[in-house]
A and B are shown apart, each in its own frame.
Chain A
Amino acid sequence: MNNNQKETKINPEKGKALSSSKGIREEILNIFKKALADDIFDAVMIPAKVPNTDAYSWILLQDESLFEMADPLPPVMAVQGGRALSSFSKNGELDLKIAALMRPCEIRAAVELFKLHQINLNHITLISIDCPGATPLTDYMNDPKKLAETYKKISEKWEVSESLRPACQNCHRFSLIDGTAADLHIGLLGKNDKVTLIPISSKGNEILEKLGYEPTDSLEEWKSNREKLLKEKIKNREKFIKEWQEKINKTDGFFNELNKCINCHNCMNACPICYCQQCYFDSQNITFKPETYLQKSKEKGALRFPLNTMLFHIGRMSHMVLSCVSCGACEDACPVSIPVGRLFSMVGDQTQKEFDYIPGMNREEPLPLQDFKEEEFCEVETPNECEEKVTEEAK
């Protein structure tokens, strides 16, 4: 697998604004129809509403007529896009040029999977889009029509509503133009009804050229609207982190949140980052013999079991939290409504900070555990020298 993708990053100063008289959805779909017709892509990966149902699914489409069912921003996130993409782009090279339109957290998950050799991006163009969030899966499934309407209202106004998933309420990476994750970005925060195509990589630039869309329109308004929303979301996120740190720091705070866990492993199955063929916690390594149960019960007087419920969460956390993109797929999937997405997002946030790493932001940035820096965690490794260094820098 050739992972030598060296797309050069451009600092987007200009984009291509398309006015959507037919509405934003139509405008976006038209871009893809044109790209397919002009042979710029051979296939497009995009969410779609399954006909005659309320369900949403990913489709890989080559037939223009099927665009009818496509929806770039569905009211729910059914299967996490990164996970979906890895199902067909792992081994070998594809000779189809594919465009994948996904939400920013899905794009970032895809980039993390790329670093783990689970996705080959050579023939894939990643297209991100300004994301207003999504509604909780269970709420939607209980009353699809109502939630679809609610979603339409709040997404049009970019409202940070409580009807959105907690992950989305606390998300501050809803518009991906920093870093080298996506090739092309679809900006929706510009003037009303305007869809702005913003090239992020040289590949993205190429595609705009082929489409005949010269990036000559100003991004000023889009940038300023984005800044406003970003400020609000960052405040939200900081509040969320602080609130949850306090919750967890209470005695047994962490375990209390996970008390309801029924050990179904749905969270792990829904998570895009969990890529193992077989989870360590489903393997032979974590099976306990009957004698062990009885022995522990004898030793402790009483035994809560199955034995590895908490271990599963801590273990999964230690395995994937550095790549956690806070997409909340895990929380959507939990049958007993454990705030597992929020837990992992908060811990992820803190641990990623220690490594100065934002998962999925930059394709060239190596994963922290696969990279060696001679000077790291000096406060732990060489505390005496570190003090001197810190005071030196302070001077």
Chain B
Amino acid sequence: MNKNIGVYVCECGPNIPERIDIDKVVNEISSMDEVKTVKKYSLMCSNDGKKFLKQEIEKEELTHVVVAACSPKDHENTFMKVCEEAGMNPYLFQIVNIREQCAWMIPDKEEATSKAIQYIQAGIHRVLFHEPLEKKELEINVDALVIGGGISGIEASLSLAGPKRKVHLVEKTDSLGGMAGKLSQILPHQGSKIKSVKEKIEQAKNNENINISTSSEVKEIRGFLGNFEAVIKSTPENGEEKEQEIKTGAVILATGFDLFDLKENPAYGYEKNENIVSALEFEDMINSEKIVLKNGKKPKSVALIHCAGRKEKGYCSKVCCLYNLKFAHYLKDNFPDIDVKELYMDLCLPHKQDQSYFDQAKEKGVEFIRMDEVVKTKSSGDQVEIEYKDNDKTDKLKADMVVVAPAMVPSKDTSHLAELLNLPLDKSGFFKELHEMLDPVATPMEGVYITGCALGPKNIPESMTQSHATSGKILSSLIPGRKIVPEVKVSKIKEELCTGCQTCLSVCFYGAISYDPFKGVSVVNEAICRGCGNCVGSCPSGAIHSKHFTYTQLYQEVLDALR
């Protein structure tokens, strides 16, 4: 095939000609045998510029194009699109950065010009070795698999399910609702009971596009965005064990949380005295409207202890201050003469109505005591005596009933699922999001998202937001009828050179490489591969190459650039 290379030097407005002698560049490049035509242009990325490039490609019958201009991050895609529209393979294009890498950093015009010429020569010699890569289109499944039937999972399912998109909701216990389903009331509306959660559960059950499997777990899962396969194992109490294999397009993990085991810190005396209960047990009492001590009498004083497990786990669980206030209000409203004290390490009151909720509790006579830690609890007659420390000063208080608020910890299934899907966990054992600030519900595995407390302690509105976020991501990426185009510049393993040491597998962040035991070689899944190149660097025999960054391409470029 005849190689007709067209080189275009963009002036980028005044940016480049101020520091680089464009005419000299054009002159030097035109003397190269490999180049069919070289021209300069004022602003290549403008509409006129793009039109000009398209016409040039057609007129000169160009097979390869090099544009010397700004950074590839700015306009590589722009010019590649133009090449495609002009009927040329867009991957036979190379952009050379003579703005940031030459004009903008070399004050001496002669030096900047000669460097620009070198770089363009490097780009030309590189582009000669480009392969005409082809984009692939994959059929996709637009359904979603939601793992976890708590409030987060239910909300995600409700916002996703539709006639063209089914949702499989898998819950390991025999009923939906999770931890939120066990609560007595939801903040901030003191009045409303657990009704709203129950309503959500009913909506999910009545939605014909949501397929619910309770007493079920995901046993296996493999694949990538638009093409997952999962095996769900159901073990109902009164029924047969069965396994079903499903195909799905995306996965949402909504596995929630467990509570810190209060027995781990003997200072709380949990299980030593029956009038020391956990917050969840107290919720039960409110639900059954029976706040009584073990001797059947009503308590005259209640102590609410915050922050249990905070020091051990190293993080604040966010929701306990609010629900303790909920408890305090409930007690004061239903037992007018009851004495309520709250022992806290720090107060967490970040939302709009929290401050006034706290002020109202104080007005009702709730006493707030700051402490560093609970030293020990012991029985004192019929009461519980709590000894606590604040700044080296120890103090004691007595109460009929003690409610301890335990920290939220990752649910037991988190680590198992993380292994199944090759997902990272943070140092507390919660799932790790792709980017803490900028991508808080995604994971390195495209198509796998996380919502709710599986990512860390949070309240119900935050969980709702995250569930909507995961749905949003799925709704916009898995569109019924559309195909997805995976990354083109991926890695490829030469089978005959691979010796199956799996070093590449161990450094792939995206889980895109798998081992084929039959052939004894590793294989790249081109649909998952993001082209990061980690594997290429890790292979000692050079059996892996990147399709758009081959050794030859890079060598040719560097050879010229360093001359």
Contacts and interface: CB of A to CB of B under 8 A. Distances in A.
Interface string B514-553: 0101001000000000000000001011110000000100
A370 B541 contact: no
A370 B499 CA distance: 16
Interface in B479-509: 496-503, 506-507
B45 to A, nearest CB: 36
A283 B494 CA distance: 12
Contact of B502 (A117, A279, A280): A117
A279 B538 contact: no
Contacts, number: 52
A90 B500 CA distance: 9
A285 B497 CA distance: 13
A224 interface: no
A276 B541 CA distance: 6
Nearest to B503: A370
Contacts of A369: 503, 538
A275 B540 CA distance: 9
**Interface of chain B: mostly helix, strand, loop or mixed:** loop
B507 A283 contact: no
Nearest to A285: B551
A311 to B, nearest CB: 13
A118 B541 CA distance: 14
Of residues A91, A369, A370, which shows the largest number of chain B Cβ atoms within 10 Å of its Cβ?
A: A370
B543 A370 contact: no
A95 B182 CA distance: 54
A92 B520 CA distance: 9
Contacts of A275: 499, 501
Contacts of B543: 276-277
B541 A283 contact: yes
B503 A90 contact: no
B542 A277 contact: no
B541 A277 contact: yes
A117 B541 contact: no
A1 interface: yes
A116 interface: yes
A168 to B, nearest CB: 28
Contact of A90 (B520, B541, B551): B520
Interface string B319-331: 0000000000000
Contacts of B498: 277
A319 interface: yes
B533 to A, nearest CB: 15
Nearest to A371: B506
B542 A280 contact: yes
A280 B544 CA distance: 11
Given A116-B501, A369-B503, A1 B496 contact: no
A267 to B, nearest CB: 15
A90 B520 CA distance: 9
Given A1-B517, A90-B520, A116 B503 contact: yes
A118 B503 contact: no
Contacts of B517: 1, 91-92
Interface in B190-220: none
B445 to A, nearest CB: 18
Interface in A61-96: 90-92
A278 interface: yes
B97 to A, nearest CB: 26
Given A91-B520, A277-B496, A370-B507, A319 B540 contact: yes
Interface in A236-285: 275-280, 283, 285
Given A116-B502, A118-B500, A277-B543, 13 more contacts: A1-B515, A90-B500, A91-B517, A117-B502, A117-B515, A275-B499, A276-B541, A277-B496, A277-B497, A277-B541, A278-B541, A369-B538, A371-B506
The 8 closest A-B pairs by CB, nearest first: A276-B541, A370-B506, A116-B501, A319-B540, A91-B520, A280-B542, A285-B551, A277-B499
11 contacts: A92-B517, A117-B501, A118-B501, A275-B499, A276-B540, A276-B541, A277-B541, A279-B541, A319-B540, A369-B538, A371-B506
Interface of B: 496-503, 506-507, 515, 517, 520, 538, 540-543, 551
